[in-house]
Structure 1
């Protein structure tokens, strides 16, 4: 009955991450290493394989509802894709400790930025230099995908929220961007041939079903309430992830 448990876990994660604009690879990575005991390299490859099909389904669902902002999404993709390639190429040469600190600082900083914008900023004017900021967030996301085998959703959704998008279009646009970055990262990790298909396929099936349901559920959610609750949740989650990453280093 292990496969039933995996399908249920995949469904819940797929539903959550497509609703909040993530890719899910980071969550799958934690589940695969902590619960199923996979080696980090195997878990990274398996997590991308698991997350990628659900991202395609989720992005298409958001496209059908008309929530994707292609202009800012493409601005991110232009830098995220080459950054993913660079990250994958330099990954074998980065010591684990410095990399952990860099990622933790990025995640925590993005979380703080979202919380400040949500609770302390009352300026709703368009963000200046939007194209440059979108490109920067794309670079950060691409490096995380290439180096760590994550889907890079944290910087993308954080960047979109900071740039002024509401939660629903931010989640939709993030799913669109992550299809591109995850595909590049997946190609590099597939070449290593270290995927645990027995676990990954069951998680993938559940994740695809969850991703299919997410855009349809979001279409019935009050946008104002979604912003009020989801933005602080994303900010706190990113801050928590950043702090948790460095705690074992002390």
Structure 2
């Protein structure tokens, strides 16, 4: 029964991730801590490994469509990767209770961001914006085991990118950050493969089937209704993780 639930959870999240253009590690992290009872450190490492295949598939799809803005992507990557490394090196020394507060706080923050994000953010340009949001995303990956999609997408939208370009460019940044984060978390041996492998299988299936399902849906309406639901869930998961 647990295996079926794991695959189903991965499938649903994988499908939503491709639709919304995010990384999905926050959703995996919330499910792993609240439903399947993994500790914060193990859930953080497992969520990164679980999210990576979906990110890779999504990034390759955007690459084939020539939607990735490589110049901005590399600026963010150059800022994010050192932040991922620093966060990953520091995370094993954070006490578990403090780690729970950090994970819960990040989940709640992303949930609130989904609920209240502005559709018309003021446009800003320049390398500084890319660097700042890249560093924030990198720290989220290294310390929290998240994909860092929230700040990366926010930064791209602030710089004036449209949703498609932002999702495409974000996918390349997230793949790179997640890969670096996985390398460090694997060394620590925190990945729960018994749980992660089944969610990963479901997520890959969802990534492949998402385009077929989206042909039968209105993507704009789907995004409009799903985002606030996910936002509420992440806020609840964040509170549960921090204060359980």
TM-score, reference length from structure 1:
0.79
Go from structure 1 to structure 2 and tell me whether the alpha carbon gap of 1:46 and 1:244 turns closer, same or farther (over 3 Å shift).
Answer: closer
**Residue 18 of structure 2 is aligned to residue 18 of structure 1:** yes
1:79/1:138 contact within 8 Å kept = yes
Select which of 169, 176, 180 maps to 1:173.
169
2:208 paired with 1:212:
yes
Deviation sequence 1:18-46 (CA, Å, 0-9, x none): 22122111111111111111122221111
Q: Tell me if the contact between 2:24 and 2:147 (Cα under 8 Å) persists in the aligned partners.
A: yes
1:162 Cα offset (Å): 2.1
Q: 1:8 is matched with which residue? A: 8
State the partner residue of 2:56: 56
* Residue segments in structure 1 that go unaligned for 5+ positions in a row: none
Q: Residue 239 and residue 176 in structure 1: after superposition, are their counterparts in 2 closer, same or farther (change >3 A)?
A: farther
Give 1:83 shift: 0.6
Q: Which residue of 2 aligns with 1:199?
A: 195
- 1:10–1:202: 8 Å Cα contact kept in structure 2? yes
Alpha-carbon distance in 1 for matches of 2:173, 2:70: 9
Equivalent in the alignment of 1:190: 186
1:89 maps onto 2:85 in alignment? no
Once the two structures are superposed, what CA deviation does each residue of 1:54-95 show, in whole Å capped at 9, x if it has no partner?
A: 111111011112222212211111101111001112224456
Question: Is the aligned partner of 1:79 residue 2:75?
Answer: no
CA distance in 1, matches of 2:37, 2:61: 33
User: Following the alignment from structure 1 to structure 2, what is the Cα–Cα distance between the partners of residues 107 and 21?
Assistant: 14
Q: Distance in 1 between matches of 2:30 and 2:107?
A: 15
- Tell me the secondary structure at the aligned position of residue 143 of structure 2: helix
Residues 158-190 of structure 1 show CA distances to partners (whole Å, capped at 9, x for unaligned) of 222222222222222211110000011111110
SS at match of 1:55: helix
Q: Give me the CA root mean square deviation.
A: 3.2
Residues 1:244 and 1:50: Cα distance change in structure 2 (over 3 Å): closer
Contact 1:113 1:162 in 2 (8 A): no
Distance of 1:159 and 1:236 partners within structure 2:
23
Where does residue 43 of structure 1 map in the other structure? Answer: 43
Say if 2:56 and 2:175, in contact at 8 Å, map to a contact too.
yes
> Matched residue of 1:23: which SS?
coil
2:32–2:43 CA contact under 8 A, matched in 1: yes
User: What secondary structure is seen at the aligned counterpart in 2 of 1:191?
Assistant: helix
Q: Counterpart of 1:66?
A: 66
* Cα distance, 1:151–1:175 mapped onto 2, change above 3 Å: same
